[in-house]
Structure 1
Amino acid sequence: MATSTYTTPKNSLKCVEWMWQANPNPFSSSEPDIWNHYSDVENLIIERAYSNGEARAVLDDYYIDFQANRQISNTDDYKQRPVKRVVRNREDKHLREERFVDLPVSTERFVDLPVSTEHSFGGEYGWVSPFIIEVRRDLKLEPDELPSKKPEMIPQLVEQAAQGIIKEGKYIRKEEEAKELANMLREQKNNGIEQVWQRCAYIYSLESFLYKTLNATMRLVGDKEHESVWRSKIRTLGPFCLLLWDDPCNKKAKTKKTLYRGANLNREQIAKYEKMAKNNDEYGSFQAFTSCSRNRQKAEVFGNTLFIMEVVIAFTADLVGLSEYPNEEEELITPGVSFCVTKVESDRKINRHLIYLKLRQRFSSK
């Protein structure tokens, strides 16, 4: 992956982490201390204000008083909790279970399958993510009009993406977090597509509302009951999604690679995969961007099921050199990658269900 020209934002997380005391009574001497992590973006906001010698850092629901080492509610000064600044090695960072376990599909339609077997591909969309197709239509782009092929469109598309992120942030009362992400993206506005994509990948790798909202939206495509929901997000999330999807650093599909992802599945959900395993001609595809790990041991920590995915030929992106969490060994599967189930079994030694998938890209180019 071409990451040699990549530079992290000036205010990267590096070795600093801010935490807040979460036990019911944070000022009790009898209760054991419980410390929770701020989100990555909140950490960036707090650390920048701290490094600049400011008196406080303003978040969406609270502000941090550095002199008092307190988190204080923006609406009630009596709601306070202690905070602390922790310096540690990047390798010591906590693993993010939600990122590698949440199931990237609508639970009502596909019974928590981590992929869609009905609407992800085929028909008028071919093998490209339907959400991407609709974003390109909304932007009135011709087939050959992509930022990787038409650099002059990059500044405007980056600005549209930044404004869309802010609108989504306002909608869920995460405006400060959204502005931080938007400004981070705007820093690359006048650079080439490689730098822009790498910044998008870095932003996506952060723990924030953005990757969750984007993927939840993309999983709804094909669901008639929620069509108005995902279509309402095309103009806000679409530009960022397109920039992330139009990856100039991974132009060739990957082969001969194995990826892993944990999940919590019940008996009914596992039966769905067992049924697919009986028909090698039955394919589904990933609806959204899907985070996996190249490290089996780390993926096994999460859930009661382990997906073991053999990449026959598919577009994926190695995020290790871009992520603030290199120890996760994150690999991102591109929306629209198809799969078949080859085997489902149980491993009593590790107390996990094992589901084997083969990943295959039906189109070799975008």
Structure 2
Amino acid sequence: MLDNCCIDFEHSLQILNTDHSQKRPTKQVVRNREDKHLREERFVDLPVDSARPFGGQYGWVSPFIIEIRRALGLSENQLPPNNPELIPMLVEKAAQGIIAEGKSMGKEQEANKIAKILTAQKNSKVEDVWKCCVYLYTLESFLYKILNKTMRLIGSKEDEQNWQSKIHTLGPFGLLLWDDPINERVVRNETLYRGVKLEPEQIVTYQNMAAEKKYGSFQVFSSCSRNRELFEEFGNNYFIYHGCRCCFYCRCQSNVRIS
């Protein structure tokens, strides 16, 4: 059972939940686990509201995370790795928030499934909870889309109330995902890539920022790769991130096709 339809495997049909007379044939295929195809929407979208080149300068901690901590009544040092006793509460609140967002988007079945997977880790170690959150975030679901859509608004005065309105529903999951308890060792001189589709005027904006040595930030959880060739098939430009695991600077470069 899906949110909009159900699948009749016996007769290979997809049936609309609201009108069972609406049917269409389906085909079962065996998925190749070696398939490395990237989902373009996840890896190419501009990681900020298209009206702005960056989300502003906020330092290491995002305003989103700061507001989440305040909403939960947590101090600056009260984070999951340092306070594992917080995990059950955060997981429960995260699951409830995911379900609430799913209902509002007509994705209740999907949200319940995600919440069930997450709550199963409620009494697990913080490392296992974080791995679960990463797994859920990388699924093709409404969750990463609405979380990214919300965080892209950070830095826009006009949209401040919009992203802050999601603190109670998306915040607990965002906090669990943000606070990585595993990769604590600083890795320096790392380079990551992300494809992007830019309009000519946007390219000029980034070029001017680079020339003037201006800085900004991307507030979303951005999907990147160490393999540049993966992104040269997408978009018309790509960002090159240089730095260490905790802090990167980036530059924009036009795509060069590799034959």
Give the TM-score of the pair, scaled to structure 1.
Answer: 0.67
Of 221, 224, 229, the match for 1:289: 221
By relative contact order (CA 8 Å, sep 6+), the higher-ranking structure is 2
For residues 8 and 250 of structure 2, what CA distance do their matches in structure 1 show? 53
Unaligned runs of 5+ in 2: none
For residues 60 and 190 of structure 1, what CA distance do their matches in structure 2 show? 29
For residues 279 and 146 of structure 1, what CA distance do their matches in structure 2 show? 37
For residues 197 and 162 of structure 1, what CA distance do their matches in structure 2 show? 14
Alignment match, 2:66: 133
For residues 229 and 338 of structure 1, what CA distance do their matches in structure 2 show? 27
For residues 90 and 261 of structure 1, what CA distance do their matches in structure 2 show? 23
**Superposition CA RMSD, Å:** 1.7
| Superimposed CA distance per residue, residues 28-60 of structure 1 (whole angstroms, 9 cap, x where no aligned partner) | xxxxxxxxxxxxxxxxxxxxxxxxxxxxxx110
For residues 156 and 230 of structure 1, what CA distance do their matches in structure 2 show? 22
Larger relative strand fraction: 1
Alignment match, 2:244: 313
Displacement of 1:228 in angstroms is 1.7
Q: Conserved in 2, the CA contact under 8 Å of 1:277 and 1:340?
A: no
Matches within 5 A, 1:328-347: 337=247, 339=249, 341=251, 346=254
Which amino acid letter does the alignment assign opposite residue 63 of structure 1? C
Larger relative helix fraction: 2
Displacement of 1:266 in angstroms is 1.3
For residues 78 and 112 of structure 2, what CA distance do their matches in structure 1 show? 28
SS in structure 1 at match of 2:111: helix
| CA gap 1:238/1:176 in 2 versus in 1, 3 angstroms | same
Alignment match, 2:160: 227
Q: Conserved in 1, the CA contact under 8 Å of 2:194 and 2:240?
A: yes
SS in structure 1 at match of 2:249: strand
Q: Conserved in 2, the CA contact under 8 Å of 1:283 and 1:338?
A: no
Larger radius of gyration: 1
For residues 46 and 235 of structure 2, what CA distance do their matches in structure 1 show? 11
Which amino acid letter does the alignment assign opposite residue 350 of structure 1? R
Kindly tell me the number of residue pairs found equivalent between the two proteins: 258
Residue 59 of structure 1 pairs with residue 17 of structure 2: no
Matches within 5 A, 1:8-157: 58-92=1-35, 94-108=37-51, 110=52, 113=53, 115-116=54-55, 119-121=56-58, 126-157=59-90
Displacement of 1:296 in angstroms is 1.2
Residue 350 of structure 1 pairs with residue 257 of structure 2: yes
Displacement of 1:252 in angstroms is 2.3
Q: Conserved in 2, the CA contact under 8 Å of 1:154 and 1:190?
A: yes
- Of 295-304 and 247-256, the range deviating more from structure 2: 247-256
